[in-house]
Amino acid sequence: MKKKKILVLVLLLLLITGCTKPLKGKDNKAVINEVTGQNLTENILCRPTDEKTIELYEKNNVNLDALPSCVCKSDKIKKTVPKVSEDGNVVKDDDGKIVTEVKEEKCESFKINSGKYEGLWATIFIKPLAFVILFFGNLVNSFGLGLIITSLLIRLVLYPITRKTAMQSEYMKKAQPELARIEKKYANKNQEDKEVMMQKSQEMLMVYKKYNVNPVSGCLLAFLQLPLLIAFLEAINRVPAIFEEKFLGLHLGTTPQVGIFAGNYLYIVITVIVALTTYFSFKATTKDQISTSPEMDKQQKMMTNIFTLMIIAMSFFMTTALNIYWATTNLFTIAQNLIVRRRAK
């Protein structure tokens, strides 16, 4: 119990450090990119390339020159810098404003250790994840594909753990007949008798132990995915190269809600994909879970439908990039469960 409390405290510490800061204008309202409908982020990790986006950042006093490029397309990059006289002083005009000039400087691409220290959360999750997405996006010349590759790599790294979670369904299927007999045995006994219920619980625990079943192991995968889901959202919001790009006709930084209202009905497709993959992912995960009564079957189906509807609703307000990540992980989960089930047979 103490270890669990310590783990929770550590995770909370990670979550409250290095988070995304929304860019706000002089009116203290969030600055929105009118093209994508996305709220811009103040503490971006690298320089944007879209002229309209650059204009919005410079207008709101964000120093882009101090940032590395997301990806270096050439050896040199043009930067607007203060003009300096021969004696080393900054040149100002008659109104006292600093005179600027455009200079070419060596292009420095974003690295894991770029920028100042922002806390453990950014150091351990956001920056490495952003770097990996940029690396593969640059390698295949598509940040949409870079997101998919990164998503699959993460799931492959987590596979030994998630495989154990998937195996629980197979163990539960073997244990189900014995658990059903226990339920039948105690069905007509006083359900409010603590001794009777304790005896029933002990018998069920013996069955769990016999078949190596861990009833709470299903929470592990969700627990592991949560920080990765948040880190993906942070990386997308903090890396302009990702949210500026289009993939299969969809802006990665645009939510389906904004895209559909703008008249681009292709965004319905990504929502449908998320809905279908979520449904079949939940169905594959819960297919062989313990079912000792028709009531429990109904509860499992109801929970699957509720979670699916929740994800569909959320997908309308998640960026396209995050929807791609979610759909990719769902497809991996479906494939993983099929492989585990075949091997178990």
- SS3 for the chain is CHHHHHHHHHHHHHHCCCCCCECECCCCCECECCCCCCECECCCCCECCCHHHHHHHHHCCCCHHHCCECCCCCCEEEEEEECECCCCCECECCCCCECEEEEEEECCECCCCCCCCCCHHHHHHHHHHHHHHHHHHHHHCCHHHHHHHHHHHHHHHHHHHHHHHHHHHHHHHHHHHHHHHHHHHHCCCCCCCHHHHHHHHHHHHHHHHHCCCCCCCHHHHHHHHHHHHHHHHHHHHHCHHHHHCEECCEECCCCHHHHHHCCCCCHHHHHHHHHHHHHHHHHHHHCCCCCCCHHHHHHHHHHHHHHHHHHHHHHCCCCHHHHHHHHHHHHHHHHHHHHHHHHHC
Give 136's pLDDT tier (boundaries 50, 70, 90). Answer: very high
pLDDT in tens, 200-242: 778 778 877 776 776 555 555 556 666 777 787 788 888 888 8
- Chain-wide mean pLDDT for the chain? 76
Mean pLDDT, residues 31-54: 80
pLDDT in tens, 150-185: 888 888 887 777 776 666 666 777 777 777 777 777
Mean pLDDT, residues 9-27: 65
Q: What is the pLDDT of residue 1?
A: 47
Domain positions in the chain are 73-107, 138-344
